[in-house]
Structure 1
Amino acid sequence: MTFDDKAIDWLADLLSDVAKAEIMPRFRRLGEGDIRQKTSAADLVTEADVNAERLITARLRERYPEAMIVGEEACSDNPALLGGLGDADLAFVIDPVDGTFNFASGVPLFGVMLGVVVKGETVAGIIHDPVGKDWLMGARGAGSHIRHAHGSLEKVRVAKPVPISQMTGAVSWQYMPEPERSRLARNQTKSLSQFGYRCAAHEYRLLASGHAHFVVYAKLMPWDHLAGALIHTEAGGHAARFDGSAYRPSHLDGGLLVAPDRQSWEELRRELWAE
C-alpha cells in the first residue's frame, strides 16, 4: 500500500491508540526498573518508549509491509537502521515518547511524533499530545492543523515577524561545543524571553501555532525534527540548517534554526552567532 493523504487520519488514530495502551497507563506510575539512562542522566528511555514504539512499528508493518520504519529506540540499539532513510520509497520515522525526561519526571509535557518520508522528502508530520488528547498535523502543500479531540480542525499559522528584541525563543545549547555554546547562550538574551520545554513536540507546537518565534537545535535526529519542521513550514514558517541549506531526512548534523520567515531567520542567524 502506498501513502496517500487519507492515511494521515489513520496514522493519527494509531498514535492515539498506542498512547492509550502503552504510554498513559505508565505516566506517573513508573517503577525503579522502568527508567534507564542512555547517553547521560538527561537522556532517558522508559518502558513506555520501548513498548509504544514496538506497537506502532507492528501496526505500520501490517499496513505498509514494504515501508522502511525508523524508530528512536530501535536506532539507539542499532544505529545502522538509519542508513537509507534519504533514499527510501516510503519511510515512517517514530519518536514514541518525545520529552522522555519530562514523562519520567511526571511532567505532562511529552508527545508522540511521526514523520512520513517519500523518496527523500518529508511529506507529512503528526504530533500527538496524549495529555491534551489532540493532534498537530501537517501535510506537504495542505497546511497544518490542530485536530481536536471532538473532531474539528483548526488551521495554525506561525507568529508574525518581529525584531529579535520582541521574539520569544529557545536555544538548545547543551549539545553545542565551545565557544559556540557560550556565544549562543549569551546572545539569546537579545530576545524578549525564552522557553525550554525539553520536548521538541511541544516546542514545535508552540511555534507552528504562533505563540513563539524561534528555536535553535544543534542535535538533528530525524525522529525529533522531521514531523515538527514539516508542520512548521506548512504553517508558513522557515527552517534551515545553520549554513542556510534545506533540512533533509538524511541530515544528522548541521544544526537547525526555525523562524517565522526567511528574513527573521537571517536576523537570528546574524545576531545569535555574533561575536
Structure 2
Amino acid sequence: MPPETLPLPAPRLTPAQETSLIQAVRRAARAEILPRFRNLAAGQISQKSGPQDLVTEADTAAEALIARSVLQHFPNAVVLGEEAYAADPSLRDSAASAELAIIVDPVDGTWNFAHGVPLFGVILAATRYGRPVFGLLYDPITDDWITASEDGPAWQSEIAAPSKRLATSAGGALSALSGIAHVPLMPQDHQEAFAPVIPAFARLNSLRCSCHEYRLMAQGAVDFVLSGVLNPWDHAAGAFIATRAGGVARFLDGRDYDISVTEGYLLTAANETTWLTVRDVIAPGLSRDTT
C-alpha cells in the first residue's frame, strides 16, 4: 500500500499579511464596535442560546467588515466567524480541513459589551489544517494587541510605543497558582466534581471574555486557563499565543490543540510542570462520564 499522502505545508504568513489582519481588526473596531459601545438600543441586542449568550449589531457588523477585508487579501481562505457559524455550522468542518482558515470572534465578551463593561476584545486566528499559525488578541479600548506567529515569540504592541515581548508566568506550587476556569459552563455533575478542588488554588476567576483571559495568560498574570466549551473563535488565537509565550496548550487527554476537536477540556498553562500539576488535580472529576 502506498504511503499516505499528506498535504503540503502552505506558505507561512508574511509580516505584511499579518499586518493586514491587524489593520482589518482595528478598522472594524473603530467603525463598528466602539461607536456602539454604551450606545445600543434594546432592539440591537438579541439572545442566541439564552440570556447569557448575546449578540449585538456590533458583532454582526464587525464580523462582516473583517470578513470582507480578509477575503480581499486571502481570497482562497475559509473565513469562520462566530456569527457566520450560527447560520452555517458546516463552516467549522471546512475551516478544520482548510489549508488556510481565518477565524474571527468580532466582539469577544459580548455580555460585557452589551452591559457597558469595558472588558471585551476582538480575536482572530489563522489556522493551517486545523492548527493555529497566527494569533491576535485585540483590545479596542486601549487600541493595543497581542500577537504571535509561527516560530516566533508573543508580542504586545501599540502605535505609540515599542513592542514588548511577553512570557508566561513561572508557575509554582499548587496553592500559589491562579487561573481562569469556566465552571458555570461545565455540565452540572462536572461542576459538582470540580467544586472541591477550587480551594486548592490561590485564586480562580472568569472574565466572561476569552480575549482578556488569554491576554492575562500571555502576560504572566495568571498561571492557567481551563475551558470545556471549545469554540475555535474563543481559543485558537489565545492558546497559540500562550504557547509562543512559553506555555503549553493541550486537551486533558494529552492531545495538542486542534480546532477540529469539539468535546473535552482544553487546559492552557504557563509551562509543562504547571500543566501537569493542574491536570493531575482536576482531571479525575472532569473525566467522569456525563451520560
Deviation beyond 4 Å, 4+ runs, structure 1: none
Q: State the match for 1:67 in structure 2.
A: 77
> Which amino acid in 2 is paired with 1:73?
E
Correspondence for 2:110: 100
Q: Is 2:22 aligned against 1:12?
A: yes
Structure 1 residue 149 displacement after superposition: 3.0
Contact 1:187 1:273 in 2 (8 A): no
Partner of residue 215, structure 1: 225
Q: Hey, what does 1:112 align to over in structure 2?
A: 122
Are the equivalent residues in 2 in contact too, given 1:184–1:273 (CA < 8 A)?
no
Kept in 2: contact 1:99–1:109 (CA 8 A): yes
Give the structure with higher Rg (CA).
Answer: 2
2:101 match? 91
TM-score, structure 2 as length reference: 0.91
Q: Which residue of 1 aligns with 2:3?
A: none
- 1:246 aligns to 2:256 (yes or no): yes
- Give the match's secondary structure for 1:82: helix
- Letter in structure 1 aligned against 2:140: P
Question: Identity of counterpart residues, as a percentage?
Answer: 36
Runs of 5+ in structure 2 lacking a partner? 1-9, 286-291
> Aligned residue for 2:274?
264
Letter in 1 for 2:188: E
Of stretches 263-272 and 199-208 in structure 1, the one that deviates more from structure 2 is: 263-272
Counterpart among 63, 66, 77 of residue 53 in structure 1:
63
Residue in structure 1 matched with residue 212 of structure 2 by the alignment: 202
Do the aligned residues in 2 keep the contact of 1:187 with 1:274 (CA within 8 Å)? no
CA contact (8 A) 1:180 1:273 kept: no
Distance 1:170 1:117 in 2: 24
1:232 aligns with 2:242: yes
- Which amino acid is 2:67 matched to? T
Query: How far 1:151 sits from its partner (Å)?
Result: 4.6
Q: How many residues align?
A: 275
In structure 2, what is the Cα distance between the partners aligned to 1:25 and 1:185?
40
8 Å contact from structure 2 (residues 131, 257) kept in 1: no
Corresponding residue number in structure 1 for 2:133: 123
The amino acid that maps onto 2:268 is: V
Deviation of 1:141 (Å): 0.9
Q: CA deviation at 1:194?
A: 2.2
TM-score (norm 1): 0.96
AA in 2 matched with 1:26: R
Matches within 5 A, 1:127-206: 127-206=137-216
Cα separation, 1, equivalents of 2:241 and 2:164: 13
Does the 8 Å CA contact 1:171/1:184 hold for their aligned counterparts?
A: no
* AA in 1 matched with 2:136: I
Matched residue type, 1:164? L
Q: Distance in 1 between matches of 2:130 and 2:206?
A: 30
> Which runs of 5 or more structure 1 residues have no equivalent in the other structure?
none
Query: Quick one: which amino acid aligns to residue 61 of structure 1?
Result: L
One-letter identity of the residue aligned with 1:70: L
Instruction: Provide the secondary structure at the position in 2 that maps to 1:95.
Output: strand
